Amino acid sequence: MPLKTHNSPFSILLVEDNEDLAKEIVYFLHQKSFALLHCTRLSEMQTILQQKNFDLILLDRLLPDGDSIQMLESIKAHHSGIIMFLTALGQVPERISGINAGADYYIQKPVNFDELMAYIEHFDQKRMLKAVPDQTTKSYTKDVSLLSEQDWVLKERLILAPNGKKAILTMRETHLIELIFSQRPNVVNKSHIIQQIGHDPQLYDLSRLDSAIYRIRKKVLDQTELNIPIKTYHRVGFVWAP
């Protein structure tokens, strides 16, 4: 039973001149499969924005060729997506000045990567909600016409149920479903899943994985009115079992 997947990565432009921090962010976001471009100057950013569109700009506040808050109006002339400041200037007055100047969000250095990931997943889901509705029915009908009524379709961060209804997933949820589906009809061991999502099975709390699968089941049921066919083998793992 095919589970179709189509990827359209959330695109990010990182503008950061601190070499160590930039390397950490680039590594982290590449590990999460985001489409990422990095530059270190406002002048470089302006050139890039004239040639390419991004969903999100992660923008350092103080750069070698200027204070980016002074450039927001110019940036917005070429960028219709989200602007998030990355800065050590994290006091309330600084945050307010950034928001008033036109930034959408403000995250303080040192960067908390869990916080950054939560923001990006939120942005990605909003992007999906805007981009998918007008095409969902048409695309789903085209894909499903060759499949049985038991099939599900995974399209970007969207899972389409056999009844034509859809649920919006986070990137982590999508990855978990893909891991379980890819091993069908075999049970996927929990330790394998934990390794694949970048954690040590000896240190990872297994209840976190069980909770993640529970949230996926509940989300899909709430939004599609169907149960996603993932079966749990207690203390062992999970299997795609329609």
Annotation: CATH topology of 11-126: Rossmann fold (3.40.50)
What is the value of pTM for the model shown? 0.57
Q: Residue 200, SS3?
A: coil
Q: Which of 168, 227, 172 is nearest to 194 (CA)?
A: 172
The CATH number of 132-240 is which of 3.40.50.2000, 1.10.3720.10, 3.40.50.1820, 1.10.10.10? 1.10.10.10
What's the order of all strands across the beta sheet hosting 166-168?
Answer: 153-155, 158-160, 166-168
Domain boundaries, the chain: 11-126, 132-240
Q: CA-to-CA distance for 56 and 168, rounded, in angstroms?
A: 19
Q: How is 37-80 classified by DSSP, letter by letter?
A: EEESSHHHHHHHHTT---SEEEEESEETTEEGGGGHHHHHTT--
Q: Which of 224, 212, 205, 221 is nearest to 179 (CA)?
A: 212
Q: How do residues 81-130 score in pLDDT, each as one tens digit?
A: 899 998 887 677 777 777 777 788 888 888 999 889 888 887 877 776 66
Residue 7 has what pLDDT? 45
Residue 65 has what pLDDT? 94
The Cβ of residue 155 has, within 10 Å, a number of other Cβ atoms equal to 22
In degrees and rounded to multiples of 5, residue 227 shows phi and psi of -85, 125
> Does 132-240 match 11-126 at the fold level?
no
Q: How do residues 128-138 score in pLDDT, each as one tens digit?
A: 666 544 433 33
